[in-house]
Amino acid sequence: MTRETVDAAWVFQRYQEIRPHLPVATFPSEVRSIPDLGVVADGFDAFVFDSFGVLNVGDLPIEGAAARIEALRQAGKRIVILTNAATAPLSSNRAKYMKLGFDVVDSEIVSSREVLAEGMRAFGDEKRWAVAGPNESGIDQLPGVSMQLTADTLPLADGIVLLSSAGWTAALQDLVVDALTEIPRPLLIGNPDLAAPREHGFSKEPGCFAHEIADRTGVTPTFFGKPFSNAFDMVKGRLDGVSPNRTLMVGDTLHTDILGAAAAGIKTALVTNHGMLRGMDVAARIHESAIVPDFVLPTI
């Protein structure tokens, strides 16, 4: 399903504009460049991997990524994949990564959809949600009473969920803005990313549309996923017994992976060859954002 695409410079600038709405963190005084994770593996007990731009680009795996994860596992390291991809039902996550060549188990995957579902449960079983997501996203599996977001369901909904940007249009954006302006209600975002790297550019993701809706309505969205603490709290639960100082978050995006992990007290490594910063002056982007990873490396 077609998504609107933008370039990396646009994405970085938009992240800078919304920075006041993102977590606050402290960072190392300097960054260390390394060739790959093997150089620092002995210093950590667990590795948390972003997906898009680190393990895969769109539907294509990044060369060597599966072998690196297997080598870390063989060395006794704990592995978690932390992804803001919320469209797919939880039951299909493992199958997706197995198809890409990553031999993982369900407990090694934390998706923002899972974090969102936990947040939705807090509203109770009777809450009615208008959910933006394609037919294959399995919105009926979400907590509460979930309906496809349409002009007909919006007036019936107690709250609105942006699960996916697939099929999102300016007309839907206007419908949501009008509905929230008329009756303010909870707006939950299952993918806080502004954009995701694809084979041909960067697709706009739910976080992008959520901030625009907030600007137009004054309704503050609740985000589930990186860089927000709810995602990293779930990761820490999966890694019970592992200190954040002995955990390394490996991501491609300064404003989500690196910022969010640093705010959670987790060490960070920025991958530069495949994701949000590919082709950009990485040192300049680090300086401009003042988001400093512990390590920078081309690929894992």
Q: What is the pLDDT of residues 2-23, one digit of tens each?
A: 567 788 889 999 999 999 999 9
Calpha distance 188→5 (Å, rounded) = 23
Give me the count of residues in the chain.
300
Which two three-digit tokens encode residue 33?
């460049």
Q: Is the pLDDT of residue 146 over 80?
A: yes
Q: With beta carbons less than 8 A apart as the criterion, state whether 243 and 208 touch.
A: no
Paired with 162 in beta bridges are 132, 189
pLDDT in tens, 24-35: 999 999 999 999
Q: Is the pLDDT of residue 274 over 80?
A: yes
In this predicted structure, what is the pLDDT of residue 92? 86
292 alpha carbon, distance to own chain's centre: 19
195-198, strands of its sheet edge to edge: 5-6, 201-204, 195-198
Calpha distance 118→283 (Å, rounded) = 37
In the chain, pLDDT over 70 holds for what percent of residues?
98
Q: What is the dihedral of CA 57, 292, 289, 68, to 10 degrees?
A: 0
pLDDT in tens, 77-122: 999 999 998 998 878 888 899 999 999 999 999 999 999 999 999 9
Q: What is the largest CA-CA distance in the chain?
A: 56
Q: The domain at 1-19+32-300 falls in which architecture?
A: 3-Layer(aba) Sandwich (3.40)
Q: What is the mean pLDDT of residues 255-266?
A: 98
Phi, then psi, of 275 in degrees rounded to 5:
-120, -130
Q: With beta carbons less than 8 A apart as the criterion, state whether 89 and 137 touch.
A: yes
**CB neighbour list of residue 21: distance below 8 Å, 6 or more residues apart:** 211
Calpha distance 11→211 (Å, rounded) = 13
Task: Kindly list the distances between the CA atom of residue 212 and the CA atoms of 92, 93, 165, 277, in Å, as whole numbers in the listed order.
Answer: 30, 29, 13, 23
> Could you tell me the pLDDT band of residue 199, with boundaries at 50, 70 and 90?
low
Calpha distance 71→66 (Å, rounded) = 9
In this predicted structure, what is the pLDDT of residue 279? 87
In this predicted structure, what is the pLDDT of residue 202? 82
Rounded to 5°, angle at Cα 23 from 87 and 244: 85
Q: With beta carbons less than 8 A apart as the criterion, state whether 194 and 208 touch.
A: yes
